[in-house]
Amino acid sequence: MNVTLKVLAVVMLMAVLSRSASAQTGLGHIGSTAGEVVGAAVGVAAVTTLVLYLTLHKTYITGCTQSVEGGSSLTDHDGPSYFLVDGGSGLKAGKRVKLQGKKRKDKQGKLSFRVSKIKKDYGPCQQ
């Protein structure tokens, strides 16, 4: 997230400090207006921020795993329960873990989480 903020700060600084140069031809203003330059800079900053967010953003969930029919699930103490789609990470039931991956919601509203990595294993769940 630190890299995202640095890139966003540089882009915004460039947008603020950029000015259009006027030719001294006596024919009036040639080139883009200040509004067009600012609009283009804001557009570039928005697209850059979106691309960085989508590429660098990581989703984490933390909770206790348990066996359910057809797989396993993770329940947080104050959050929703997710059906876990294990990507070969070797999850075991009864463990409190922090997982990295992608959240999904199907048409019936059931939540699932595609596990890409186990970030931390906190040991057995405390009942």
Residue 117 amino acid letter: K
CA 7 to chain centre: 15
pLDDT at 44 over 80: yes
φ/ψ of residue 3, rounded to 5? -65, -40
Beta-carbon-side half-sphere exposure of residue 113 (alpha carbons within 13 Å): 27
Q: What is the mean pLDDT of residues 27-55?
A: 82
Rounded Cα–Cα distance for residues 51 and 42 (Å): 14
Q: Which residue has the higher pLDDT, 97 or 79?
A: 97
Tell me what pLDDT residue 97 has.
92
φ/ψ of residue 112, rounded to 5? -135, 160
Q: Is the pTM of this model over 0.95?
A: no
pLDDT at 15 over 80: no
Tell me what pLDDT residue 96 has.
92
Mean pLDDT, rounded, of the chain? 80
Of the ranges 29-33, 35-39, 106-110, which one carries the lowest mean pLDDT score?
29-33
pLDDT at 24 over 70: no
Of the ranges 7-11, 27-31, 85-89, which one carries the lowest mean pLDDT score?
27-31
Q: Is residue 116 very low, low, confident or very high in pLDDT (cuts 50, 70, 90)?
A: confident
